[in-house]
């Protein structure tokens, strides 16, 4: 110390700055090589989410970068004979860098929180076979944006050697400009809060939004955008605010219900609908799915006709005065019994077979039921199996599907006329 006192003031200041720089570098190396491994072991032993976030590797690296600047900011005052202006500039720059590194460290904590949440959601999805979870990504992005704004304000205030409140008051005069610049961010955040609080959208939901060409699974919910992977494996990016201002269909309710709806019609040729005679009724009675129905209906029809005979006498022999079974009614009963016996149909959900208003294309027979699986492939296979069978069994009931005449039909008709048939 006596030796240093005999040196020139500028040389003492230079030696002091070099010593300060060496101390800062030494502290950073000490933090990287000693402190970081120790804290990493503490994190592994604790095995808890707070330590996983606070002692994340990215957080530790940024903390090691911040320590040297803290040494510079506090130690520059101890450098002898250093110019006051230079000391102030160095201290302010170091303080600004500390503020920016602190912001980056907090942002790294938010990233660690998001990664931890996504990892936990993925593990829950594997265990529960359902990956529909709420995403906190939009909140993390908003938090990072606010941290960057706060860090920028503090850094500018420190470099200007002014209070951050003075910088904020200057920004207040620019509020209109800021509202215009961050309009989409404000709209998206508001929409994201509403979507999350009302549980309207989760990662993994199947949504349909035809106006933007979206039809598939939600794979990402961010502050400004929602990404949907369509069934053709393309990606549609939707602004978050559009999900609140425009309508879309969310199929989550179907997935959670355990059944997927089948609503399809068979167009029957009206000219093939007729009453059943006794031989046909007896034949249908041999069908396992129709035996109980035919026996009950036969007894009901006979009882009704006996009552009509006591009133009308011989006139009951007219078809118009009798009650008789029809092939379309029997087929409807067969379809209903077939669906109730099908293992792929959900028996505790709505199940019916009905005849709709006749049209120029025939008489619609509608099937309304739910499959017991919501998986797309299983659903299509079950639906295909049902209609394959029904289309093949139609002729057994004397029914025929309606279809528009084709060129082959016209050719066959002309050929028949030519033969005189």
pLDDT of 130:
41
CATH for 258-274+326-404?
3.30.70.100
pLDDT of 131:
42
pLDDT of 315:
65
The more confidently predicted of residues 339 and 68 is 339
Choose among 21, 126, 135: nearest CA to 72: 21
pLDDT tens per residue, range 186-211: 788 778 777 876 778 888 899 999 99
pLDDT of 321:
61
CB 76 within 8 A of CB 91: yes
pLDDT of 129:
40
Q: What is the mean pLDDT of residues 395-401?
A: 93
The whole-model pTM stands at: 0.59
pLDDT tens per residue, range 125-141: 444 444 445 667 777 87
CB 274 within 8 A of CB 324: no
Q: How far apart are CA 110 and CA 141, in angstroms?
A: 9
Q: Is residue 407 packed enough to be buried (19+ CB in 10 Å), middle (13-18) or exposed (0-12)? A: exposed
pLDDT tens per residue, range 146-187: 888 888 878 888 887 777 766 666 666 566 666 666 777 778
Q: In which band, very low, low, confident or very high, does the pLDDT at 386 lie, cut at 50, 70 and 90?
A: very high
pLDDT of 2:
46
pLDDT of 420:
66
Close Cβ partners of 235 (under 8 Å, ≥ 6 residues apart):
219, 227, 228, 229
pLDDT of 133:
55
CB 79 within 8 A of CB 125: no
Close Cβ partners of 319 (under 8 Å, ≥ 6 residues apart):
275
pLDDT of 155:
83
User: Above 80 in pLDDT, residue 12?
Assistant: no
Ranges for all domains in the chain classified under CATH 3.30.70.100: 258-274+326-404
pLDDT of 125:
47
Could you tell me the two tokens for 125? 């999805």
Q: Is residue 111 packed enough to be buried (19+ CB in 10 Å), middle (13-18) or exposed (0-12)? A: middle
Most confident of 19-33, 97-111, 182-196: 97-111
pLDDT of 418:
73
pLDDT of 288:
92
């Amino acid at each position: 110390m006596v030796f240093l006192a005999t040196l020139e003031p500028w040389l003492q200041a230079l030696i002091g700055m070099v010593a300060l720089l060496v101390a800062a570098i030494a502290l950073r190396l000490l933090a990287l090589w000693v402190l970081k491994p120790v804290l990493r072991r503490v994190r592994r032993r604790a095995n808890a989410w707070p330590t996983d976030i606070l002692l994340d590797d990215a957080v530790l690296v940024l903390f090691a970068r911040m320590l040297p600047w803290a040494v510079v900011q506090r130690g520059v005052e101890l450098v002898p004979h250093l110019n006051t202006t230079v000391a102030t500039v160095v201290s302010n720059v170091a303080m600004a860098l500390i503020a920016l590194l602190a912001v980056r460290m907090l942002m790294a904590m938010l990233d660690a929180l998001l990664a931890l949440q996504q990892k936990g959601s993925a593990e829950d999805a594997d265990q529960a076979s359902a990956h529909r979870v709420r995403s906190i990504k939009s909140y993390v992005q908003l938090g990072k944006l606010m941290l960057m704004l706060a860090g920028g304000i503090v850094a500018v205030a420190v470099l200007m050697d002014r209070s951050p409140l003075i910088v904020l008051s200057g920004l207040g005069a620019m509020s209109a400009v800021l509202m215009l610049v961050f309009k989409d961010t404000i709209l998206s955040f508001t929409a994201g809060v509403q979507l999350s609080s009302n549980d309207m959208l989760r990662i993994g939901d199947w949504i349909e939004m035809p106006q933007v060409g979206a039809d598939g699974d939600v794979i990402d919910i961010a502050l400004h955008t929602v990404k949907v992977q369509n069934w053709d494996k393309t990606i549609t990016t939707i602004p978050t605010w559009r999900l609140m201002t425009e309508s879309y269909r969310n199929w989550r309710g179907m997935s959670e219900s355990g059944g997927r709806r089948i609503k399809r019609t068979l167009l029957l040729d009206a000219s093939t609908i007729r009453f059943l005679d006794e031989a046909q009724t007896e034949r249908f009675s041999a069908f396992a799915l129709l035996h109980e129905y035919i026996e009950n209906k036969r007894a009901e029809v006979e009882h009704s006709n006996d009552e009509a005979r006591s009133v009308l006498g011989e006139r009951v022999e007219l078809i118009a005065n009798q009650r008789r079974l029809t092939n379309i009614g029997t087929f409807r009963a067969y379809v209903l019994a077939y669906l109730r016996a099908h293992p792929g149909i959900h028996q505790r959900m709505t199940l019916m077979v009905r005849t709709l208003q006749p049209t120029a294309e025939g008489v619609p027979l509608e099937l309304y039921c739910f499959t017991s699986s919501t998986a797309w492939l299983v659903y299509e296979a079950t639906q295909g199996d049902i209609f394959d069978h029904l289309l093949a069994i139609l002729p057994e009931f004397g029914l025929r599907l309606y279809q528009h005449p084709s060129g082959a039909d016209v050719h066959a008709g002309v050929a028949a006329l030519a033969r005189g048939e």
